[in-house]
Amino acid sequence: MSALKIRVYPDPILRKKAVPVDSFDSELEKFIEEMFIVMRKEDGVGLAAPQVGVSRQIAVVSYEGKNYVLINPKVLELSGSERREEGCLSVPGVYEEVERPSHVVVEAYDEKGDLRKITGDGFLARAFLHEIDHLQGKLFIDYLSVLKRQLIKKKLRKYRKE
Ligand code: NI
Protein backbone atom coordinates (compact mmCIF):
# COMPACT_ATOMS: atom_id res chain seq x y z
CA MET A 1 0.00 0.00 0.00
CA SER A 2 1.23 3.43 -0.83
CA ALA A 3 0.76 6.56 1.22
CA LEU A 4 1.77 8.91 -1.59
CA LYS A 5 -0.86 11.45 -2.59
CA ILE A 6 -1.00 13.48 -5.78
CA ARG A 7 -0.66 17.24 -5.25
CA VAL A 8 -3.00 19.31 -7.36
CA TYR A 9 -2.34 22.72 -8.93
CA PRO A 10 -2.03 25.40 -7.52
CA ASP A 11 -0.25 23.54 -4.68
CA PRO A 12 2.95 25.60 -4.12
CA ILE A 13 5.25 22.54 -4.08
CA LEU A 14 4.57 22.16 -7.82
CA ARG A 15 6.31 25.52 -8.33
CA LYS A 16 9.46 24.73 -6.35
CA LYS A 17 12.72 23.77 -8.03
CA ALA A 18 13.49 20.22 -6.95
CA VAL A 19 16.79 19.42 -5.25
CA PRO A 20 19.21 16.90 -6.84
CA VAL A 21 19.46 13.42 -5.35
CA ASP A 22 22.85 12.81 -3.74
CA SER A 23 22.53 9.35 -2.24
CA PHE A 24 21.36 6.17 -3.87
CA ASP A 25 20.04 3.72 -1.30
CA SER A 26 17.22 1.29 -0.62
CA GLU A 27 15.00 4.10 0.58
CA LEU A 28 15.27 5.80 -2.80
CA GLU A 29 14.49 2.53 -4.59
CA LYS A 30 11.44 2.02 -2.40
CA PHE A 31 10.23 5.54 -3.05
CA ILE A 32 10.59 5.03 -6.82
CA GLU A 33 8.63 1.78 -6.60
CA GLU A 34 5.88 3.68 -4.81
CA MET A 35 5.93 6.38 -7.47
CA PHE A 36 5.29 3.75 -10.14
CA ILE A 37 2.44 2.29 -8.08
CA VAL A 38 0.71 5.67 -7.64
CA MET A 39 1.28 6.58 -11.28
CA ARG A 40 -0.38 3.37 -12.47
CA LYS A 41 -3.20 3.66 -9.98
CA GLU A 42 -3.95 7.13 -11.32
CA ASP A 43 -3.59 6.00 -14.94
CA GLY A 44 -0.66 8.30 -15.64
CA VAL A 45 2.26 7.72 -18.01
CA GLY A 46 4.65 9.84 -15.96
CA LEU A 47 5.11 11.20 -12.48
CA ALA A 48 7.60 13.58 -10.90
CA ALA A 49 8.48 13.51 -7.19
CA PRO A 50 7.17 17.06 -6.46
CA GLN A 51 3.74 15.79 -7.55
CA VAL A 52 3.71 13.54 -4.50
CA GLY A 53 5.11 16.22 -2.21
CA VAL A 54 8.82 15.36 -2.45
CA SER A 55 10.93 18.18 -3.89
CA ARG A 56 13.68 15.98 -5.34
CA GLN A 57 14.87 15.53 -8.92
CA ILE A 58 13.20 12.17 -9.51
CA ALA A 59 10.74 11.30 -12.26
CA VAL A 60 9.31 8.09 -13.65
CA VAL A 61 7.76 7.38 -17.03
CA SER A 62 6.08 4.22 -18.26
CA TYR A 63 5.40 3.84 -21.97
CA GLU A 64 4.74 0.88 -24.23
CA GLY A 65 5.63 -1.57 -21.48
CA LYS A 66 8.94 0.09 -20.62
CA ASN A 67 9.77 1.83 -17.38
CA TYR A 68 12.09 4.82 -17.25
CA VAL A 69 13.62 6.34 -14.12
CA LEU A 70 15.07 9.83 -14.46
CA ILE A 71 17.14 11.05 -11.53
CA ASN A 72 18.92 14.43 -11.77
CA PRO A 73 18.10 14.52 -15.49
CA LYS A 74 19.89 16.77 -17.95
CA VAL A 75 18.69 17.45 -21.47
CA LEU A 76 21.59 16.93 -23.91
CA GLU A 77 19.80 17.26 -27.24
CA LEU A 78 16.53 18.69 -28.48
CA SER A 79 15.19 18.79 -32.00
CA GLY A 80 12.05 18.83 -34.06
CA SER A 81 8.67 20.08 -32.97
CA GLU A 82 5.28 18.53 -32.50
CA ARG A 83 1.90 19.73 -31.25
CA ARG A 84 -0.12 17.25 -29.25
CA GLU A 85 -2.68 17.11 -26.51
CA GLU A 86 -1.22 16.82 -23.03
CA GLY A 87 -2.52 16.27 -19.54
CA CYS A 88 -1.09 16.01 -16.03
CA LEU A 89 -2.14 14.18 -12.86
CA SER A 90 -1.66 17.45 -10.96
CA VAL A 91 -3.99 19.31 -13.31
CA PRO A 92 -6.90 16.84 -13.38
CA GLY A 93 -9.45 16.98 -16.14
CA VAL A 94 -7.47 19.43 -18.27
CA TYR A 95 -6.17 18.42 -21.69
CA GLU A 96 -4.64 21.00 -23.99
CA GLU A 97 -2.41 21.04 -27.04
CA VAL A 98 1.20 21.92 -26.31
CA GLU A 99 4.09 22.32 -28.73
CA ARG A 100 7.28 20.51 -27.74
CA PRO A 101 10.43 19.14 -29.38
CA SER A 102 9.83 15.72 -30.95
CA HIS A 103 13.28 14.33 -30.20
CA VAL A 104 15.24 14.46 -26.97
CA VAL A 105 18.37 12.89 -25.52
CA VAL A 106 18.46 12.91 -21.74
CA GLU A 107 21.24 11.98 -19.39
CA ALA A 108 19.99 10.75 -16.02
CA TYR A 109 20.82 8.41 -13.18
CA ASP A 110 18.68 5.34 -12.64
CA GLU A 111 17.56 4.04 -9.24
CA LYS A 112 20.87 2.17 -8.81
CA GLY A 113 22.93 5.32 -9.36
CA ASP A 114 24.09 4.44 -12.88
CA LEU A 115 24.31 7.32 -15.32
CA ARG A 116 22.49 6.59 -18.58
CA LYS A 117 21.70 8.29 -21.85
CA ILE A 118 18.08 7.87 -22.91
CA THR A 119 16.60 8.86 -26.25
CA GLY A 120 12.95 9.75 -26.63
CA ASP A 121 10.98 10.40 -29.80
CA GLY A 122 7.44 11.62 -30.29
CA PHE A 123 5.26 10.84 -27.31
CA LEU A 124 8.20 9.66 -25.21
CA ALA A 125 10.13 12.89 -25.84
CA ARG A 126 7.02 14.77 -24.69
CA ALA A 127 6.70 12.62 -21.55
CA PHE A 128 10.37 13.13 -20.59
CA LEU A 129 10.19 16.89 -21.14
CA HIS A 130 6.91 17.19 -19.25
CA GLU A 131 8.40 15.40 -16.22
CA ILE A 132 11.71 17.30 -16.38
CA ASP A 133 9.68 20.54 -16.41
CA HIS A 134 8.03 19.41 -13.15
CA LEU A 135 11.49 19.23 -11.53
CA GLN A 136 12.01 22.89 -12.48
CA GLY A 137 8.65 23.93 -11.04
CA LYS A 138 7.11 24.20 -14.48
CA LEU A 139 3.72 22.86 -15.58
CA PHE A 140 2.33 22.16 -19.06
CA ILE A 141 -0.32 24.82 -18.57
CA ASP A 142 2.51 27.40 -18.52
CA TYR A 143 2.63 26.96 -22.30
CA LEU A 144 -1.00 28.11 -22.59
CA SER A 145 -2.35 31.63 -22.70
CA VAL A 146 -2.69 33.58 -19.43
CA LEU A 147 -6.47 33.63 -19.84
CA LYS A 148 -6.68 29.88 -20.27
CA ARG A 149 -4.44 29.35 -17.26
CA GLN A 150 -6.63 31.57 -15.07
CA LEU A 151 -9.72 29.62 -16.06
CA ILE A 152 -7.97 26.35 -15.19
CA LYS A 153 -6.89 27.76 -11.81
CA LYS A 154 -10.45 28.75 -10.99
CA LYS A 155 -11.78 25.37 -11.99
CA LEU A 156 -9.20 23.48 -9.91
CA ARG A 157 -9.66 25.69 -6.82
CA LYS A 158 -13.25 24.53 -6.85
CA TYR A 159 -12.13 20.95 -7.42
CA ARG A 160 -9.80 21.06 -4.39
CA LYS A 161 -12.58 22.30 -2.10
CA GLU A 162 -14.97 19.53 -3.10
NI1 NI B 1 2.56 16.34 -15.00
CA of 112 to the centre of ligand 1 (A): 24
What is the pLDDT, as a whole number, of residue 23?
94
- Asked whether residue 4 is assigned to any structural domain, the reply reads no
- Asked whether residue 6 is assigned to any structural domain, the reply reads no
- Asked whether residue 51 is assigned to any structural domain, the reply reads yes
- Asked whether residue 40 is assigned to any structural domain, the reply reads yes
pLDDT, tens only, 71-119: 999 999 999 999 999 999 999 999 999 999 999 999 999 999 999 999 9
- Asked whether residue 76 is assigned to any structural domain, the reply reads yes
Q: Which of 86, 97, 131, 162 is catalytic?
A: 131
- Asked whether residue 1 is assigned to any structural domain, the reply reads no
CA of 8 to the centre of ligand 1 (A): 10
29 is catalytic: no
Give the total number of structural domains in the chain.
Answer: 1
Domain with 137 in it? 12-161
Contacts 24+ apart (CB under 8 A), 106-110: 106/70, 106/73, 106/74, 106/75, 106/76, 106/132, 107/73, 107/74, 107/76, 108/69, 108/70, 108/71, 108/72, 108/73, 108/74, 109/21, 109/24, 109/71, 109/72, 110/69, 110/71
- The pTM assigned to this predicted structure is 0.94
CATH of the domain at 140: 3.90.45.10
Do the beta carbons of residue 137 and residue 71 sit within 8 Å?
A: no
CA of 81 to the centre of ligand 1 (A): 19
- Asked whether residue 67 is assigned to any structural domain, the reply reads yes
CA of 106 to the centre of ligand 1 (A): 18
- Asked whether residue 110 is assigned to any structural domain, the reply reads yes
